[in-house]
Structure formats: C-alpha cells, structure tokens
Amino acid sequence: MELLKLLHICTFLSLAVVASHADLDIYWKSKLPNTPMPKAVRDILHSEWLEDKSASVAVGKGGVNVNTGKGKPAGSGTNVGVGHRGVGVTAGKPQTNVGVGKGGVTVHTGHKGHPVYVGVTPGRNPFIYVYAATEDQLHDNPNVALFFLKKDLHRGTSMNLQFVKSSNPATFLPRKVADSVPFSSKYIPEIFDKFSVKPESVEAETIKNTIKECEEPGIKGEDKYCATSLESMVDFSTSKLGNNVQAVSTEAEEDTKAQKYGIVGVKKLNNNKAVVCHKQNYAYAVFYCHSTQATEAYEVTLVGADGKKAKAVAVCHEDTAKWNPKHLAFQVLKVKPGTVPICHFLPEDHVVWVPKN
C-alpha cells in the first residue's frame, strides 16, 4: 500500500497542534469545570507520537497511519494505522468474538473453516443508521454479533470480546485551524491539494466518503453534526444537553486476546437523552455526533476469563423504527425495525455525552 506523506498535516501538527493541546485542556476546564475529561479525549490530546519530532504521518486505506521513529532508522519504531475496514470483531467457530478497539469494531466468525469479516467500510459506518448493510459487511455468513439485544445486557451474561488498541491516531486541530481548512464536498480538490493526496487514490476515497457521510441527511428525528474540533464537539453536545453533562468512553486495562467476558455490573447513565460522537477516518480528528430519540447509555463492567477488566460503554436504541430496514443490525439479529431495543458497545475512541443525574 502506498503511504502518502502528509507534509501539510505535519506542519499543522508541529506548529499548531502540540502547542494548542495545553490550551484545549484549559478550554475544557473552563467550559466544563465539573466534567472530567473522558479517556478517549485525553488519549487524543496526549498522544505520545505528537511529542516525537521524528513522527511521520500518512493517510492509508481508510484512515491515517503514523510512524513514530523515536530517532531510530527509517522503517523502525512504532507504527500505528487504521485499515480500510475501520471498525470490527474477531471470532472463531462456534462462538463469535467481538473486538472493540480504538478504531472501532470488527467481526470475524468461523464459517465452514473460512473467516468472515463484518466491519465498517468507508461510507458504510454501522453506527449511522440510514445505511443498509453492504455485501462486504455481510459476506457469506450473516450470523455475526456486531450488535446485540438489550435483553442480554445484564449481570451474568457472557460475551466473547476482544479489546484492542488499533488506534486511529488522528488528533484534534484547534478550532481556528480546523475552521480554516475546507470540509465540504464543494472543496474536494482544494482538500486533496492541502493534504497532498492524489485524486484517484484510496486516501482520496476515504476523505470523500467521510465528508459524504457528514453531509448526507440523517434518519428522521436525528440531530447530527460532524465536529472538526474539540471545541465544536463540546458546543454541539452542550447545546443538546446543557452544561451539566458527563462525557464517558470505553476503557480496557490493556490489549487482550479474544476471550469470554462476564458482565458483573451494569449502570444506567441517562434517561433517554444522549449525544454519541463517533471518531471518523480522516486526516485529523473528526467526530460524527448525533442525538437520536430514546437512546440509553450504560457503563458495563466486564471481567475476562484471564482476570482482565474493562468498563465498556454500551448504547441502546429503544426506537429503531426509522432505521434503514436493511441495516446491519436487523440482518444480524433477525429482527425488524421498531420491534426490540438494539445495543452496541462503543469503541475506545468514541464518546457518549449524557446529562448528569
């Protein structure tokens, strides 16, 4: 895969981003003095690679790739990348394993000895409910467990999960910088030029799909907004919920293998009002934020077979009547729109905002 060096982004990062992240910490404390910053946001603001002068940035298939050379020879060091599939879950027959990672969720499940992938491809994010499932998502085995039913969200339930740190390293730009960068399908050529992206490349396709996803209408009753800065994400969320809010994200102890996790605790975080922000594949941090009717958020305490613990955020949708009838969730769970509440865990770099009780 060809990795295009984004020299313009590197300039932004070195001149604006690193210095500005301290300002964003200050901004958060002044805007939300009683709201702890969630780990998903802290990780973006304090990414280790941002402080390494030898870091290089490139847009790969479906996202951004980062190499932190740490002063080592070319080709060495730590490489972080987001693949073209974006989000997903691993599993082996006879069980389905769900991997919740910072890049999202993927699914591999055993089927006649062949692995099957169900994940998020650009333009077909499963957390955007206007889309139908693609053939690539369904592949040849529809019996995968990316989504689950609310009735299974209780103490004593076991799930095969895998928490992975396949991080999407895209970082926040300060609002002034982000607002100066075009983010519209009307300015695609200018965006390609700014980020040194070839128009016919897979990198270009990723940029176009993310912008398209942001510009398309949502489902009926959904308020949506693509935040291109931390400040704009905070502003959108507080405009819907007020300033007395809680922001939470999934946290796992460390990378784990696919294993059985038992639910040992479930704590409801809200009363049907929430804003959920999903990190997108883009050259810098962009969050697809949406507020939908009858959305419940839960903090789920999990313990793995090896003793590893995780606090995962689960989002449950009580009303799915307006979702695309061919959405992945309906095809996987074999249910119809509007019949039963449907849930999913949030990847580690996504954020849910709820009013404080």
Q: What is the pLDDT of residues 36-85, one digit of tens each?
A: 999 999 988 876 544 444 433 333 333 333 333 444 443 433 333 333 33
Q: How many domains does the chain have?
A: 2
Residue 305 lies inside a defined structural domain of this protein:
yes
Residue 309 lies inside a defined structural domain of this protein:
yes
HSE at residue 163, side-chain half, CA atoms within 13 A, is: 24
Convert the pLDDT of each residue in 332-351 to its tens digit: 889 999 999 999 988 888 99
Are 131 and 25 part of one and the same domain?
no
pTM strictly above 0.85:
no
Given pLDDT bands bounded at 50, 70 and 90, which one contains residue 135?
A: low
Residue 71 lies inside a defined structural domain of this protein:
no
Query: To the nearest whole percent, how much of the chain has pLDDT over 90?
Result: 45
Query: What is the model's pLDDT at position 258?
Result: 77
Domain residues for the domain of 8 are 1-33
Helix (H, G, I), strand (E, B) or coil at 15: helix
Note the helical H segments in the chain. Answer: 7-12, 18-31, 39-45, 135-138, 175-180, 188-194, 202-215, 230-241, 328-333
Residue 213 lies inside a defined structural domain of this protein:
yes
| CA–CA distance, 120 with 136 (Å, rounded to integer) | 9
Given pLDDT bands bounded at 50, 70 and 90, which one contains residue 164?
A: low
Convert the pLDDT of each residue in 93-119 to its tens digit: 333 333 444 443 333 333 333 222 222
Residue 70 lies inside a defined structural domain of this protein:
no
Are 210 and 315 part of one and the same domain?
yes
Are 22 and 135 part of one and the same domain?
no
Are 147 and 244 part of one and the same domain?
yes
Query: What is the model's pLDDT at position 329?
Result: 85
| CA–CA distance, 93 with 161 (Å, rounded to integer) | 14
Are 168 and 285 part of one and the same domain?
yes
| CA–CA distance, 261 with 255 (Å, rounded to integer) | 14
> Mean pLDDT over residues 300-323, rounded?
92
Q: Is 274 exposed, middle or buried (0-12, 13-18, 19+ CB in 10 A)?
A: buried
Query: What is the model's pLDDT at position 189?
Result: 95
| CA–CA distance, 292 with 274 (Å, rounded to integer) | 8
Helix (H, G, I), strand (E, B) or coil at 11: helix
Are 169 and 304 part of one and the same domain?
yes
Helix (H, G, I), strand (E, B) or coil at 167: coil
Given pLDDT bands bounded at 50, 70 and 90, which one contains residue 208?
A: very high
> Mean pLDDT over residues 221-229, rounded?
94
Does residue 6 or residue 247 have the better pLDDT? 247
